[in-house]
Structure 1
Amino acid sequence: MNNRIVITTDYLRPGDTVDTMLRDRGLEPVYSPAGGTRTDEEKLALFKGAVGAIAASEPVARAMLATSPMLKVIARAGVGYDNVDIDAAAELGIRVCNTPGVNHHAVAELALALMLACARRLNTVLAGVDDGGWPREAGTELRGKSLGVIGYGPSGKAIAALGVALGMRVLVSTAHPDSEQSSGIEFADFDTTIKAADYLSLHSRAGKGDPIIDAASLSAMKNSAILINTARGSLVDEAALVEALKTGEIAGAGLDVLQREPMVEDNPLRTMSNVVITSHLAGQTLEARERAGVAAAQAIIDILDGKTPQGTVV
């Protein structure tokens, strides 16, 4: 029986907990970490001969699935799965799983870190210290400010709770309000939330339509507002964001995700002093990685054993 499991998630390695789990089940992990750009031939060959895969965030296109007739399951070591052609997987009978509930505290903590970095102008301060200076920027406090949260899944709930703990007014825009379990949080519609927010933090899933933060949304925000995105780059019209930052429609942004990753050299966001950018690492704590890898491996084992994992997408 075919037992190969292709692992492209770069922090999973031979000899770790995931490797041991899979081998104990009689499976053979094969490592092909995502990094740089694969050729078309490499992409088409990536999953050939494998029964399962633990996939990183690189695109998994229809052609890659169509050339992999033995493939039964793709597990994402994380929450997002928009990099996988879900329609093609469903048509080809390939199960797709994610790992919900493994990294929401890590995501919320990085969202908070980006808020603080923008509030205290750490880009400018750190650059000045590195250059031999001693800049003493006057930042602002989070306490008393309004935090707008778009989306109220696990990471949205976690950042909302942190906002309440810091003494912020927290407004949440969601299709699934939970007033009974959300002390100190106000639920509001999208327009109300973005207009009121001093900090607007995105925690919604990627959609197939237009970005939810476009030129009109940015224009409706306060001139002093900061946009925080630790969710998906596709949620924001990046060209409109660049223009809004240049013209002062909003004051700044803290971004962990971009429309194109890795960040291209000529991206104008790179040189803006009012923008803090991290490298898609919101969920990349040691603790979250361990939970995500174990959950992805368990999902593969469950599918091969005829069970349905909690994070089944298709």
Structure 2
Amino acid sequence: MNRAAGTVLVTTDYRDDEADAVLTAAGLRVRRRNGHDLVEALRGVTGAIVAHDPLTAGVLARAPALRAVVRSGVGYDAVDVDAAARLGIQVSNLPGINSNAVAEYTVGLLLAAARRLVESATGVSTGDWPRESGQELRGATLGLVGFGPAARAVAPLATAFGMTVLCATNHPAGSTVEFVDLPTLLRESDYVSLHTALTPGNHHLIDAAALALMKPTAILVNTARGALVDEEALATAVATGRLAGAALDVVATEPLPPASPLRGVDGITVYSHLAGQTAQARHATALAAAHELLAALRGEPRFPVNHPKEKQ
């Protein structure tokens, strides 16, 4: 393998020594982001493995040495891929790398919502002894919005619980799930789980009109991107009893702002963006990101999401 040269910035909030060893064996120095100045962190950097850092056109323009960026996950909406292409920067992602972790977590959120586990534990911690009955997943209908690797991994788990699975997607593929349009999915599902990428065309995909189609007893689950949901509309729908509740692993602004409309709404539980965060998924992601970065620096990316011009 040809040895690379330069410095790699890694912004993930965990360290993987094996992945670091892959990069250093290739001749690269590994730098961790310290503090909050992204521009300063990127100074002199050849490649970057990033979490959800906002790599805007302005930030990228101030990183003239940067040749390749790897998003350590699936979504890359925080990276201006068009600006990167104009600047000669290759951007890659890691499709499906944490799909098993996300799928298991999604089912965990379904169970927690159905059996009101958070409410029960919270009640006990405050001195109460809640005994409210929950719901079984068996016999319920799960609607998957999107059918990428994570959603495809959720489907058999839900089926094993005895759920009927519907899916709304622009890219249906052979499966045991039933493919329907989004309005049908919203009307018929007891649980709606979001698994689609955030694009300019689906910002606030779940808005007041979409929520109005859902059953009053339905639960919304989001492990994809916060901006897919109109949070004001969701808070109103749950607070007024139009919707039973929501389990959100992602929100539009993270961490959740003190003034968020989602705060204090009985029935809405917000988690801290943990769907893909298992020890196994983190290790696999770190290794895959290291190998993808080396491939991109060689001009041979395996998972490119843009087509940059030649770096000047």
TM bracket (short chain): over 0.9
Provide the secondary structure at the position in 1 that maps to 2:21.
helix
Displacement after TM superposition at 1:2 (Å)? 4.9
Query: Counterpart of 1:57 in 2: which secondary structure?
Result: coil
1:235 aligns with 2:228: yes
CA distance in 2, matches of 1:268, 1:303: 41
Whether 1:292 aligns to 2:293 is: no
Report whether the alignment pairs 1:59 with 2:54: yes
Partner of 2:124: 129
Shift, 1:145, TM fit: 0.4
Q: Residue 203 of structure 1 aligns with which residue? A: 195
Distance 2:39 2:14 in 1: 23
1:6 lines up with 2:9 in the alignment: yes
Distance 2:284 2:179 in 1: 31
Select which of 87, 94, 108 maps to 2:82: 87
Q: 2:149 aligns with which of 129, 154, 175?
A: 154
Confirm or deny: 8 A CA contact 1:143 1:166 kept in the other structure: yes
Larger deviation, residues 126-135 vs 62-71: 126-135
Aligned letter for 1:297?
Answer: A
Distance 1:216 1:273 in 2: 21
Corresponding residue of 1:17: 18
Q: Which amino acid aligns with 1:271?
A: G
Indicate whether 1:188 and 2:188 are aligned: no
Describe the superposition over 1:127-181 as per-residue Cα deviations: whole angstroms up to 9, x where unpaired: 11112222212000000001000000101111122111111111111112123xx
Question: C-alpha distance in 2, partners of 1:108/1:146?
Answer: 16
Between Structure 1 and Structure 2, how many residues are aligned? 302
Give me the whole-angstrom Cα distance separating, in 2, the residues matched to 1:283 and 1:308. 23
Provide structure 1 residue ranges, at least 5 long, that are not aligned to the other structure.
none
Q: Which residue number in structure 1 is paired with residue 165 of structure 2? A: 170
Equivalent positions of 1:264-275 (< 5 A) are 264-275=257-268
Residue deviations 1:57-105, cap 9 Å, x none? 1211111111111100011111111011111101101000111121011
What amino acid is aligned across from residue 141 of structure 2 in structure 1?
Answer: S
The answer (yes or no) to whether the contact 1:124–1:273 under 8 Å persists in 2 is: no
Asked if residue 225 in structure 1 is aligned to residue 228 in structure 2, the reply is no
Distance 2:89 2:217 in 1: 47
Aligned equivalents of 2:258, 2:121: Cα separation in 1:
21
Question: Deviation digits for residues 30-81 of structure 1, max 9, x if unmatched?
Answer: 0115x7xx3xxx2322211010001111211111111111100011111111
What residue identity is the alignment partner of 1:104? S
CA contact (8 A) 1:3 1:27 kept: yes
**Runs of at least 5 residues in structure 2 that lack an aligned partner in the other structure:** 307-312
In structure 2, the residue corresponding to 1:269 is in which secondary structure? coil
Amino acid of the residue matched to residue 79 of structure 1?
V
Match of 2:247 among 254, 258, 273: 254
* 1:234-284 deviation line (CA, Å, top 9, x unaligned): 111111111111111110000000011111122232322311211011100
Identity percentage of aligned residues:
46
Q: CA RMSD in A?
A: 1.3
Q: Tell me what 2:137 maps to.
A: 142
The equivalent of 2:28 in structure 1 is: 27
Q: Distance in 2 between matches of 1:61 and 1:308?
A: 21
Contact 2:232 2:261 in 1 (8 A): no
The letter for the 2-side match of 1:280 is H
Q: CA deviation at 1:122?
A: 1.5
Normalization by structure 1: what TM-score?
A: 0.93
Residues in 1 aligned to 2:187 and 2:138: alpha-carbon distance in whole angstroms: 18
